[in-house]
Amino acid sequence: MNALTTAARPASDPASSSATSEPAVSTRTTRIRALPSASELKAQLPLDVALADRIAHQRQAVSDVLEGRDDRLLVVTGPCSIHDPEAALEYAGRLVSLAERVSDRLLLVMRVYVEKPRTTVGWKGLAYDPGLDGSDDIATGLENARRLMRDIAALGLPVATELLQPMAAAYFEDLLSWVAIGARTTESQIHREMASGLDASVGFKNGTQGNVDVAIAAMQSAAHPHRFVGVAPEGGQAIIETLGNPSTHLVLRGGANGTNFDSASIAASRRALQAAGLTPRIMVDCSHANSQKDHRRQTQVLHDVVDQRLAEGSGLIGVMLESHLFEGKQPLNPAALRYGVSVTDACLGWETTEQQLLLAADKLR
């Protein structure tokens, strides 16, 4: 499949028989802009041997936690979304220092979310609109996203993101150590197929209503080999064959029916995973419905999970936090942006994040 395509004119349309350099048009006018292939962008921003080896070790570290070979708590933390690479790199620098202080009890992974799902419309993330102005310079956005992820991985941090558009994944999947499939897309066959071919570990979130069954089915699907129509790294349609991804787990993020990080919900999820023949591996998203949309409640959820882990173990392998340099959120106004403040969901500030993760590590010791 080409990077961007549209339907051809019906054969009955007289214009279809004449040569033209204009894009084909169906029932609606569609503008087509070429993108570089994933291979071309990777050649422009390559991984050297040392960094590729580092990422392989980062992926193995995450997998070891999931498989129980490493008894640390996996912590995926960072901005709700990345809109300013400079601020993201400053956050990453602070997180590297913190990671060293807690490395005996916590494995810190940085959220580098460059795609944002939208129920209707809105800013779709750095990969799609890096100018924050609706210009949607996707070619520059993909380049910026890959460069940022490469720089953060080079600092020594495993990189995490939510993969929303499967065709965009090819531009930076080689940099990722952990991937989220969101509540809106966990039920998607296309995303399950994509996950089955990733080298990174994958967390499937429960559905927006709080149902864990769709995530469990996604884990089962992703573990199996698949063949499907996709886009080759060099561009063009291809048959993609995957081997299956055994390194998956459940992410509890609450839902329309309320929170699901309490001990009863964790126990119910553990039983459901076991009934499906899956090893219980559960991460709690401390934000979203579990924080009741109040970013400050994330710290309460974090410590509740840590206390449960200490008391029962219960298959709890990790937590997720939305955190930035400064607390809260701000309107997306390119002319008046405050540095280090989220433009999507409200986040914990760095001082609170550092303090609470240090406290969590001390508890786990």
Answer yes or no: do 21 and 88 share one domain: no
Answer yes or no: do 205 and 344 share one domain: yes
Tokens in use for 340? 């280090």
Answer yes or no: do 88 and 228 share one domain: yes
The predicted pLDDT at position 341 comes to: 98
Q: What is the dihedral of CA 150, 151, 153, 158, to 10 degrees?
A: -100
Pairing of strands 159-162, 73-78: unpaired
Answer yes or no: do 40 and 30 share one domain: no
Tokens in use for 349? 């500030």
Number of domain units in the chain? 2
Answer yes or no: do 55 and 170 share one domain: yes
Q: Is 351 exposed, middle or buried (0-12, 13-18, 19+ CB in 10 A)?
A: exposed
32 touches 61 (CB < 8 A):
no
Answer yes or no: do 294 and 320 share one domain: yes
The predicted pLDDT at position 31 comes to: 84
Answer yes or no: do 17 and 42 share one domain: no
Answer yes or no: do 58 and 28 share one domain: no
CATH number, domain of 298, equals: 3.20.20.70
The predicted pLDDT at position 18 comes to: 37
Answer yes or no: do 139 and 196 share one domain: yes
The range of the structural domain enclosing residue 150 comes to 36-364
Answer yes or no: do 197 and 296 share one domain: yes
Answer yes or no: do 92 and 162 share one domain: yes
Answer yes or no: do 193 and 224 share one domain: yes
Tokens in use for 140? 């520059």
**pLDDT per position in the chain (365 positions), as tens?**
333 333 333 333 433 333 334 444 455 678 888 899 999 999 999 999 999 999 999 999 999 999 999 999 999 999 999 999 999 999 999 999 999 999 999 999 999 999 998 888 899 999 999 999 999 999 999 999 999 999 999 999 999 999 999 999 999 999 999 999 999 999 999 999 999 999 999 999 999 999 999 999 999 999 999 999 999 999 999 999 999 999 999 999 999 989 999 999 999 999 999 999 999 999 999 999 999 999 999 999 999 999 999 998 779 999 999 999 999 999 999 999 999 999 999 999 999 999 999 999 999 99
Residue with tokens 């509740």: 304
What Cα–Cα distance (Å) separates residue 99 from each residue in 80, 85, 317, 362? Answer: 19, 20, 17, 13
The predicted pLDDT at position 120 comes to: 85
